[in-house]
Chain A
Amino acid sequence: MPQVCDNIISTLAPCLTQSGMNPDVAQFISILLGVVLVASFPLLLVIFLIWVERKIAARVQDRLGPNRVGPFGLFQNIADAVKLIIKEDITPAGADRLIYNLAPIVAMLSVILIWAVVPFTPYNIGADLDIGVLYFVAISSIGTLAIMMAGWSSNNKYALLGAFRVVAQLVSYEVPMVLALLVPVMLASSMSMQDIAFAQLGMWFIVLTPVSAFIFYVSNLAETGRAPFDLIEAESELVAGYNIEYSGMKFGLFMANEFMHAFTANLLFAVLFMGAWAGPGATSLPILGFIYLMIKTAIVYIPSLILRATVPRVRIDQMMAFNWKFLVPVSIVNVIVMAFVLKLVQVLGLAPSPENASDFLANIPQAAALLLGNVVVIAAAMALIRGSVRKERLSEAAKLAQRVQVEGDKEALPATVAQH
């Protein structure tokens, strides 16, 4: 039967069995091939990503960026990788050797493993787990552990300080991220990444829940240690943070991991909120779906690079206050409002029936209702910000007024404060 062998990627196992192989072995070979394909793709991609990042950062800062090695400097990172490979590798005398050497590997692992649940096309996904979202949350926490391992085992004060900041930052921003993930799960009634992608055929979730999407995007920036949340390796305070004692290829692995993590986080954003592979012709021609996914990821990834090259770093107390006093309350309110509105939509019969869930027009009433809910959440969040900023301004004004009374320093009193 030749028709079994017409698609080598999806029907490799039956094809091999046909040619007289043990079915279990054939199954294993097919799985292994898929694994190697999915796992090596991000590693090859990262060489290109670093080039993109350097080019964009250079353009923002009115520089040219790498342009000597290869066309447009494309081979610069390959040259850098070769340089890192032949560099001497130093393990400081006081380090905890086993943990020290394990940390870069675990860091890399935490990002590569996420790619197992990314739906590339309607038919090609590493493993369509029933608990895909939970798997993503669980695996991305391993990254925190790896950085803590690196910081602790280096036996260096800068590294340890950087690692402690990681625990504070990554762990804190995981709370709003998980809360924001609840809403797509609610909308799709599934935690499988592929089901979430299929649920967005009618309408992308970024339209249905812009607040969730925003919270997920911001906490992803913090989770990947990107500016303005790059306190993990604040050069001016910590020299380099957790990876200060690392050299050679181990440092290279940490660096590659950071770039890969940033891209993976944006890829997940594209999957969860922008319909993954969805687009015209994606179901009939799977490669188009893959291209759509990459384009969508670039649409969210490139602004994050420009943001990184543009904004200054926040202070650690500001960062923690922004998370616990703004993002977490807003995401809790968002989940409650979304739950109410979704139930209301179901009761009123505005939700699209399962048959025409992929029809754009059938989704409009539900989208309008959910958007209205989002506007309420945004208004509440704005009121929260306005209130806290006003309180801060008043307390500063009071402090200044006190100083004026004590020192009789009338010149210190600006006109704006005098009005209060």
Chain B
Amino acid sequence: MTAAVNEWAFIGVFMSVAWILPVLPLVVSWLFRPRRANAIKLQTYECGVETVGDTWVQFKVQYYIYGLVFLVFDVELVFLFPWALAYNQLNFFAFGAGLLFIFLLADALIYAWRKNALEWA
């Protein structure tokens, strides 16, 4: 096996073991815990009063706007990593192209700012 394959084999085994570790205390707890459920106990908690209406309803739109702004940034940031990685070998053109890309990113931020997408209204 080559070294790189070995590293990814480690991650693969790690992922399966990491699933098992948190399940272990849950299994132990399942063995020992009491089971005395009743209808009142299983009600949705709301500071003692009975819950009114459905929880899964339409929600404040501002959260989704932040989600969209984040999506733009996160996707573009991933493209910057190869540029940063090869930074020492970049010629002048590639260096300028990377900077232009960052400027476009900043431009998107200014646009969102001017459109009041960043205001918590």
Cα–Cα distance between A35 and B73 once the two chains are bound (Å): 34
Task: Name the A residues within 8 Å of B34 (CB-CB).
Answer: 86, 88
Further contacts, 5 of them, CB under 8 A, given A27-B9, A133-B81, A191-B85: A90-B37, A134-B81, A171-B67, A249-B29, A342-B87
Q: Which residues of A sit under 8 angstroms from B69, Cβ to Cβ?
A: 324
Cα-based distance from A55 to B58 in the complex (angstroms): 43
Is A40 in the interface zone, CB < 8 Å from B?
yes
* A336 CB contact (under 8 Å) in B21, B22, B102: B102
| Chain B residues within 8 Å of chain A by Cβ, number | 70
- Bound together, the chains give a CA A287 to CA B55 distance in angstroms of 52
Closest to A171 in B: B70
Contact present for B63 and A129 (CB under 8 Å)? no
> Of B10, B86, B98, B102, which is in contact with the most chain A CB atoms at under 10 Å from its CB?
B10
- Using a Cβ–Cβ cut-off of 8 Å, how many residues does chain A contribute to the interface with B? 83
**Known interface pairs A128-B7, A156-B44; A168-B66 also in contact (CB < 8 Å):** yes
The reply to whether A155 and B44 contact each other, CB–CB distance below 8 Å, is yes
Bound together, the chains give a CA A190 to CA B82 distance in angstroms of 10
A94 within 8 A of B: yes
Whole-angstrom distance between the Cβ of A81 and the nearest chain B Cβ: 8
Determine the distance from Cα of A325 to Cα of B56 in the docked complex, in whole angstroms.
31
Q: Is A332 touching B17 in the complex (CB atoms < 8 A)?
A: no
Beta-carbon contacts of A69-85 to B below 8 Å, as 1s and 0s?
00000000000010011
| Beta-carbon contact of B42 and A93 below 8 Å | yes
Chain A residues whose CB sits within 8 angstroms of the CB of B19 once the complex forms: 105, 109
Q: Report the bound CA distance from A58 to B118 in whole Å.
A: 38
Q: In this assembly, does A126 line the interface, its C-beta being within 8 Å of a C-beta of chain B? A: yes
Given A158-B46, A321-B118: A346 and B88 interface contact (C-beta under 8 Å): yes
Residue numbers of B with Cβ under 8 A of A are 1, 4, 6-11, 13-15, 17-19, 21-23, 25-26, 28-30, 32-37, 39, 41-47, 51, 55-56, 59-60, 62-63, 66-67, 69-70, 73-74, 77-78, 80-81, 84-88, 95, 98-99, 102-103, 105-106, 109, 112-113, 118, 120
24 of the cross-chain contacts (CB-CB < 8 Å) are A86-B29, A89-B29, A92-B45, A105-B23, A167-B66, A168-B62, A168-B67, A171-B66, A171-B70, A182-B80, A182-B81, A182-B84, A185-B87, A248-B29, A249-B25, A253-B25, A317-B120, A320-B66, A320-B120, A324-B113, A339-B98, A339-B99, A339-B102, A346-B88
Are B22 and A253 in contact (CB-based, < 8 A)? yes
Q: Tell me if A393 counts as interface (CB < 8 A to partner B).
A: no
Chain A hits for B60, CB < 8 A: 164
Write out the residue numbers on chain A whose beta carbons fall within 8 Å of the beta carbon of B55: 94, 155-157, 160
Please tell me which one of the listed residues B4, B6, B25, B46 contacts residue A31 in the complex, with CB atoms under 8 A apart. Answer: B6
Which residue of chain A lies nearest to B86 when distances are taken between CB atoms in the complex? Answer: A189
> Is the Cβ of B4 less than 8 Å from the Cβ of A130?
yes
